[in-house]
Amino acid sequence: MNKALIVKIISKDYTIRLEDGSLKLASLAGKMRKGDHPVAGDIVDYRYINDRYIIQSYQKRKNYLIRPNLANIDQVIIVMSMQDPSFSYELCNRMIILIEYNDITPIICITKNDLSDPLEIYKIKSYYQKIGYQIFDTGSNDDADFLKDLLKDKVTVLCGQSGVGKSTLLNKIDPILNIKTQAISKALNRGKHTTRHVELYPEFGGLLADTPGFSSLDLTSVDKDVLASKITAFKPYIDGCRFLDCKHLNEPDCALKEALEKGLIPESFYATYKDLMQFLISGNIYGDRHRTLK
């Protein structure tokens, strides 16, 4: 059977990208209409019958996000501005941890570097580079060409608070894409379109989602037994813990706590993990606003 990737779904119309890069309109085979439907980003098997493309099945997903509704995301670009809104380690750390939990690579992009002391940016970049994360910075006097290189061969989602400069970034790399995404967010804000759809646009050899992700962080299904093992900053150490099921909180002979004492992991990064774990255990660290756990 032939393989394709879903780039857009509107109602029952699936736009699929074939291996040669061409886009075709497809529909689901009758047997697929019940149960879980595929989403944008899904890799599907299709048949071409009587001039029609029919999706037969979708392949096992590498990962899946509800917002935006996408499968098989390779990376999330976390956009954080230096000012308006000001940079928050805690927010950035929390996003990193939750993105990695979903088996997606986080990449940090600092914006509005023109509004900040370069030393402050240097400190932030060292903080994240030291623990294994890619981080870039840009501003009104800089281009965003690093983004073009990052997109190649990947499925990418941008995330970040309102006002950090996501649209400005897109505008720098592709003004036409930016206009398309703006039209969608305006339509969504007015509430005219009840069915949200996500579209993956071909950009610089990869696919970029038009809808920002992680605007609210969903903690509903985080499994505290596996969280630490997925975090890049922790990976070099956790095999050294005495207990296989160490949560790295108060256990004896915890290699992660030792790394922390040696200054190999920033205290504040660990603190975000600890807060998150305590929330998962007790359900009230971030207050009722974030109480999405059942």
Ligand X SMILES: Nc1nc2c(ncn2[C@@H]2O[C@H](COP(=O)(O)OP(=O)(O)OP(=O)(O)O)[C@@H](O)[C@H]2O)c(=O)[nH]1
* CB nearer to Mg ion: pick between 94 and 166: 166
Provide the minimum distance between the beta carbon of 186 and ligand X in the complex, in angstroms, as a whole number.
Answer: 10
By CB under 6 A, tell whether 140 contacts ligand X.
yes
Site for Zn ion (CB under 5 A): which residue of 28, 150, 169, 246? 246
190 CB-side CA count, 13 A? 7
* CB nearer to ligand X: pick between 165 and 206: 165
By CB under 5 A, tell whether 265 contacts Zn ion.
no
Q: Which helix (H) or strand (E) holds 99?
A: helix 89-101
Place of tokens 């030393």: 119
* CB nearer to Zn ion: pick between 26 and 256: 256
User: Among 69, 145, 72, 138, which Cα is nearest to 105's?
Assistant: 72
Mind giving me the DSSP string for 102-131? TT-EEEEEEE-GGGS-HHHHHHHHHHHHHT
By CB under 5 A, tell whether 63 contacts Mg ion.
no
Number of H helices, E strands in the chain: 7, 13
In the range 163-222, which residues lie near Mg ion by CB under 5 A?
166-167
By CB under 6 A, tell whether 112 contacts ligand X.
yes
- Tokens representing residue 288 in the block: 């009722």
* Binding track, positions 142-171, relative to ligand X; x by CB under 6 A: ------------------x-xxxxxxx---
Name the site residues for ligand X (rule: CB under 6 A). Answer: 111-112, 114-115, 139-140, 160, 162-168
